[in-house]
Structure 1
Amino acid sequence: MPKMKAFNCFEVKNETATSADLYFYGDIVSDWWGAWQEEDQYPEAIKNFLSGQQGKSLNIYINSGGGSVFAGIAIYNMIRRFAETNAVSVTVDGLAGSIASVIAFAGNTPPKIPSNAFLMIHNPFALVEGNAADLRKMADDLDVITTGILNVYMEHVKEGVTEDQIRALMDAETWLNGRDAAEYFNIETTESVAEIAAASGGYVARARNVPKDIVIQWAAGAARNKTSDNQDARSAVLNQNKKRDEIARIIINSL
């Protein structure tokens, strides 16, 4: 049975006549059906959002472990086109990891990354099954995709940084805090915030080299939030039931 969820889950926050805020706080997925939580973003939602924001400045905030490579590249290219005629700024609140690190460079000014927030870059990966020929083809395809991602990074590196340097960082799955990232990329490093939020979504869980201090900080934050989460559990259930009833009414009315 296909999953059921509320319609119009994409939300624009702090929209005014002159500006709008856009949050990437979940996974980057291919389409509406792949968005398991409201924070997930996908190309069609971004396209629809941007079409209504012409003439406005756009503030993008990122705390995402990444997701679909092709969805992320599509979103990057859409925002880059929007940035040709509109002011677009990007701030990394916690983590811009994997393909979210590509989206971090979509603005027309260098992204802002606090000294205790992170940019994580690595090579793309895929799940594949099949015979030896299938596996070899997938390896070749991943090499091509890696080059595409590398090309984006190279458009935003500091003068003197070489392709071999960035490729080595990708090979190693490298976590760069704001100050470290500024050694390689055109980035505005800002003062550290009191605490970085744990990146939501499932893709960050696949990372191999998460720094220990990040794991400790995320775990501490989760423990502090547990009490308030328990207090909010009842209202969350009630809201979920309300959404379920709304979806049921939509389906019944469409029959």
Structure 2
Amino acid sequence: MQIANKFLQIKNQSEQSADVYFYGDIVSSEWGKWENTDTCPEDVRDFLTQVEGVKNLNIYVNSGGGSVFAGLAIYNMLKRNSAFKTVHVDGLAGSIASVIAMAGDKIVIPSNAFLMIHKPWSGIVGNSDDMRKTADDLDQIEQGILNVYAENLKEGVDINTIKQMVNDETWLNGFEASKYFNVEVSQENEMVACTSDYFKNYSKIPQQFAKPQNQSNETKKELSQQNKINQMLIELSII
């Protein structure tokens, strides 16, 4: 059975389990959506209400990131849900989507899928005081994200190691991620394609995610990106 819940896919629901897919960008609200795969916190809230009482929740992630506050809200909603949560990173859990992935009681990353972590950034308009405050705010946001990562570290891994990886923008395949985080590595599979309006802002994108799009898709992405830039000028974002 498949349930339509605005833009969030809910599949295979039963009394025992439900599947949910994060297969687009993470946005702050309904009006921020420019693709039918984008997800906002209201979608997740409504989804969890519909599947209340299920014992197992399967979460599939293939996202390049999005709004930091939306992602943290989604992480917290999933984290406090009583179901046993298994996260499957099908292609990419990038940026704030890597935080959402950490909500799982069990996290599975194929050897050819990726976890990407980096520093939060924001668009800002204002004077020097505004910009100094934004820098301080971003440092606090980064610490909140590091707190989530710290809860999922393998024994013996120092959070300062992860902080440096965040500073450097680090892409980890399944095997590499398992060296630092409590994740399970599954066999390599045919990686699900992942596109994101945010990819042009990353500096170390693996070749798998850097394939050119056709012209019609590119034009569509450019229009979408401009709208999201306008949105980011009024809210702090991690992308």
- Partners of 1:129 and 1:42 lie apart in 2 by 25
Contact 1:118 1:176 (8 Å CA) reproduced:
yes
Give how far 1:169 is off.
0.3
Give the match's secondary structure for 2:52: coil
Rounded Cα–Cα distance in structure 1 between residues aligned with 2:199 and 2:74:
19
Structure 1: distance between partners of 2:209 and 2:47: 32
> What is the correspondence of 1:33-52 to structure 2 with a 5 Å cutoff?
33-52=31-50
> Which of 137, 147, 150 in structure 2 is aligned with 1:151?
147
Give the strand-richer structure, 1 or 2: 2
**Is contact 2:29–2:40 with CA below 8 Å preserved after alignment?**
yes
Other-structure match for 1:160: 156
1:210 corresponds to which of 205, 209, 231: 205
Task: Provide the secondary structure at the position in 1 that maps to 2:156.
Answer: coil
Residues matched between the structures, number: 211
Question: In structure 2, what residue type is equivalent to 1:190?
Answer: S
Q: Mean alpha-carbon deviation: is it higher for 67-76 or for 201-210?
A: 201-210
1:124-203 paired onto structure 2 within 5 Å: 124-194=120-190, 196-203=191-198
Q: Give the direction of change, closer, same or farther, for the CA distance of 1:198–1:11 in structure 2 (3 Å limit).
A: closer
- In the superposition, the TM-score normalised over structure 2's length comes to 0.83
1:105 maps to a residue whose letter is M
- Identity over the aligned pairs, expressed in percent? 50
The 2-side partners of 1:210 and 1:118 are apart by 10
Residue type of the partner of 1:101? S
Cα distance in 1 for partners of 2:23, 2:148 equals 22
| 3-state SS of paired residue (1:120) | strand
Q: Separation in 2 of the partners of 1:91 and 1:213?
A: 18
Maintained 8 Å contact 1:116/1:178: yes
Q: Is the 8 A contact 1:175 1:209 kept in 2?
A: yes
Residues 1:103 and 2:103 aligned together? no
- Structure 1: state its 5+ residue gaps: 1-6, 230-255
- Amino acid aligned to 2:76: N
Residue 231 of structure 2 corresponds to which residue in structure 1?
Answer: none
Structure with more helix by fraction: 1
Larger radius of gyration: 1
Distance 2:206 2:9 in 1: 32
Match of 2:224 in 1: none
Q: 1:122 to 1:49 in 2, by over 3 A?
A: same
Residue number in structure 1 paired with 2:84? 87
Cα RMSD between the aligned structures? 1.9
The aligned residue for residue 239 of structure 1 is none
Q: Secondary structure at the match of 1:23?
A: strand
Q: Which amino acid aligns with 1:34?
A: G
Residue 213 of structure 1: how far off its partner (Å): 4.7
Alignment of 1:229-244 (within 5 A): none
Q: Give the Cα separation in 2 of the matches to 1:9 and 1:214.
A: 23
The Cα offsets for residues 198-226 of structure 1, whole Å up to 9 and x where unpaired, read as: 323312332111123543xx45xx68xx9
The 2-side partners of 1:159 and 1:143 are apart by 26
* Partner SS for 1:12: strand
Tell me how far 1:162 sits from its aligned partner. Answer: 0.8
Unpaired stretches in structure 2, ≥5 consecutive residues: 218-239
Q: Tell me by how many angstroms 1:102 deviates.
A: 0.4
- Contact kept, 8 Å, 2:25 with 2:39, in 1: the verdict is yes
